[in-house]
Structure 1
Amino acid sequence: MDIHDTGARSASEIHADLRKEAAIEPDAPATGPVTKETQIIAIYGKGGIGKSFTLSNLSYMMAQQGKRVLLIGCDPKSDTTSLLFGGKACPTIIETSSKKKLAGDDLTIEDVCFKRDGVFAMELGGPEVGRGCGGRGIIHGFEQLEKLGFHDWDFDYVLLDFLGDVVCGGFGLPIARDMCQKVIVVGSNDLQSLYVANNVCSAVEYFRKLGGNVGVAGLVVNKDDGTGEAAAFAEAVGIPVLAAIPANEDIRRKSANYQIVGRPGSPWASLFEALAKNVAEAPPVHPTPLSSDGLLGLFSADDTGANVRLQPASQADMRGVDYVEKRSLEVIYDGA
């Protein structure tokens, strides 16, 4: 749909086109072997769990080790690259392409891709709050990447930062369309982040049964307080722990000030050097997702409320007044 033609079309026609576009399902996953030399890795996790922190430091360390790295933020919040660029906002592909189209210009790589110390980075972005589907925005962003030549770029690693809401087609794009070779999940020793990690594992297995090739390479434990639930989850679903980043005040303070802690020679260098090695070498594996009860079982019942039992409600409960059950008028015949 050409936005310059909207003046000649009715609002109902425009809305019908938008509904039709929103109903488009992702392509079926590819079934052939993975042949691309570039490692494309999708990183998933609950919002606020530390994906952007992990990826900024990981990509920086990889670049310092001589690797060509492209970091792509695929979260509508567009905060993936903020730490990498010292808190500066990176123009997003979706917003920039819209402005360029209105001006009659073409989007170029110089408009949306920026670099620091060997790391190349960009943000897909998303619609304004309440004005569109974030997942559909991700799909549109990748369509723009393809027009910019994504499949011809030469990188050792492409790291994709995704929100863990894989129930949405857009956020499940790399898994559903076999766009990456492997998935990494970021979690912590809390139930909600592991719930999201378990959902990602379930999505990977669902699409593998449909012929997809994507597997889970492992779990990064962020803000590790030593209680061990995240490590127990990784063992239960059959994936390795790639790194355990401690809940440390120095890390928290430096990250809050937009400082990279994963620098060669820094106190945390060895941690991110090991993470870079593990991310590169970890093979994609078949996870075994847990049931809800299995996930709750990783935690103390006193912490999660797992001792609560379901108590059925009655009609009297629902009506809030004295309730006398009326006899049915149905005639019931004895069997012949």
Structure 2
Amino acid sequence: MSAPTPATATVQFRQRERLRAEAAVEPDAPAAGPVTKATQIIAIYGKGGIGKSFTLANLSYMMAQQGKKVLLIGCDPKSDTTSLLFGGKATPTIIETSAKKKLAGEPVAIGDVCFKRDGVFAMELGGPEVGRGCGGRGIIHGFETLEKLGFHEWGFDYVLLDFLGDVVCGGFGLPIARDMCQKVIVVGSNDLQSLYVANNVCRAVEYFRKLGGNVGVAGMVINKDDGTGEAQAFARNAGIPVLASIPAHEDIRRKSAAYEIIGKPDGPWGPLFVQLATHVAEAPPVRPVPQSQDELLALFSSDAVGRDVVLEPATVFDMMGSTEVTKPSLEVIYDAA
């Protein structure tokens, strides 16, 4: 291949310099004021089993009782987001309904996939069975179906999206990557794994901010709070507020297990969810400060996370049970001309 001409080399050099200059420009800070769009679209992320569905079912119920028009969308392949809202009853998912309607040659209608209770509208995207497809691709397909149903024209005050946070494929990061929501809320507890997931979500938000995205983190909900303080410390270090601390209380556990809504204005836990609803509505999206692995470990005592362990390198003898033998390299070495 012939060498580039001086003119071509000059053009390539200028292109590289322009790209370097663009990459060095820091993105604008996220909006610090209240969200001005008519509909607030909020994505909630967290470790599987941490209590996202519990939090969202009760939050959406409380918002509806306050006169807000709320849509709850489950984006977890387990399709359990709406179960608590509907007393344990499963709803047809968008993906399975879409497949059945397609086979029958019929279009999907709103009433096929969206259901309501006491002012809360809810639906499940669903996902493939184990080993039969990509959950992230199912999320993308589900949102494509929602767009065909007129998602962007629906007149809701709040749309709450329930996402699994410990799956890293692109479909689950859709709201952050494509600016489909204005802000993100993370749900965590006082354990390392849930905070690791919360931190990964903060990393994703920061990554897409650097690419020109506009999504920020509105705050953290601490679920099953036992008062040990690790989640509070994480939120403080990450620069995000704590929107609510839901205690590790037997009454909450028992009622949640029985698919009972506790976020009712006249119930004993009503004030907690009134506070959460207010904070969720008013909290501005902020740019988080993701933590390193060592910074996460530092939130916990060394006997809890094993920080006193010293990494000991393995040897060839460990692997083969014999003395290490240095084999000659097959690399061809040319003498200097």
TM-score interval, normalised by the smaller of the two chains: 0.7 to 0.9
Amino acid at match of 1:90: T
Give TM-score, length-normalised by structure 2.
0.87
Q: Identify the residue that residue 155 of structure 1 maps to in structure 2.
A: 156
Q: Distance in 2 between matches of 1:81 and 1:101?
A: 24
Distance 2:109 2:57 in 1: 24
**Structure 2: runs of 5+ lacking an equivalent:** 1-29
How much does 1:324 deviate? Answer: 4.2
Deviation at 1:100, TM superposition (A): 0.3
The answer to whether the 8 A contact 1:166-1:199 is kept is no
Deviation at 1:306, TM superposition (A): 1.5
In 1, distance between residues paired with 2:146 and 2:166?
22
Where do 4+ consecutive residues of structure 1 move more than 3 Å?
32-36, 326-333
Q: Which residue of 2 aligns with 1:255?
A: 256
Task: Find the residue that maps to 1:171 and give its secondary structure.
Answer: helix
Q: CA deviation at 1:234?
A: 0.1
Match of 2:118 in 1: 117
Aligned to 1:24: none
1:195 and 2:177 matched: no
1:71-220 equivalent positions in 2, closer than 5 A: 71-165=72-166, 167-220=168-221
Identity, % of aligned positions: 79
Relative distance call for 1:106 and 1:225 in structure 2 (3 A) is: same
Q: 3-state SS of the aligned residue for 1:77?
A: coil
Residue matched to 1:312 = 313
**Could you report, residue by residue, the CA deviation over 1:56-107 in whole angstroms, capped at 9, with x for unpaired residues?**
0000000000000000000000000000000000100000010000001000
Q: What is the match of residue 269 of structure 2?
A: 268
Partner of 2:10: none
AA at the equivalent of 2:156:
F
Q: What secondary structure, in the 3-state scheme, does the structure 1 residue paired with 2:96 have?
A: helix
Residues 165 and 171 of structure 1 are in contact (CA less than 8 Å); yes or no, is this contact kept in structure 2?
no
Deviates more, 1:35-44 or 1:273-282: 35-44
Name the residue aligned to 1:26. Answer: none
| Residue of structure 2 equivalent to 1:13 | none
Distance 1:162 1:216 in 2: 14
Tell me how large the CA RMSD over aligned residues is.
Answer: 2.0
Structure 2 partner of 1:64: 65
Displacement, 1:326? 3.6
**Which is worse superposed, 266-275 or 322-331?**
322-331
Q: CA deviation at 1:166?
A: 5.4
Residue 322 of structure 1 and its aligned partner are, at CA, apart by 2.5
- 1:18-37 alpha-carbon deviations (Å, 9 max, x no partner): xxxxxxxxxxxxxx998631
TM-score by length of structure 1 reads 0.87
1:307 deviation in Å?
Answer: 1.3
The answer for the alignment partner of 2:44 in structure 1 is 43
**Corresponding letter in the other structure for 1:307:** D
Q: Which amino acid aligns with 1:182?
A: K
Q: Secondary structure at the match of 2:172?
A: coil
Q: For the Cα contact (< 8 Å) 1:187–1:230, is it kept in 2?
A: yes
| C-alpha separation in 2, matches of 1:108 and 1:166 | 30
Unaligned runs of 5+ in 1: 1-31
Q: Which amino acid aligns with 2:138?
A: G
Contact 2:217 2:285 in 1 (8 A): yes
Q: Contact (CA 8 Å) 2:62, 2:263: kept in 1 or not?
A: yes
Match of 1:322 in 2: 322
Report deviation, 1:165: 3.1
Contact 2:76/2:127 (<8 A) preserved? yes
Residue type at the aligned position of 2:218 = A
| 1:225 CA drift (Å) | 0.2
Assess if the C-alpha contact under 8 Å between 2:316 and 2:324 holds in 1.
no
Deviation string 1:124-153 (CA, Å, 9 cap, x unpaired) is 000111100000000000000000000000
Tell me, in whole angstroms, the C-alpha distance in 1 between the residues paired with 2:107 and 2:333. Answer: 75
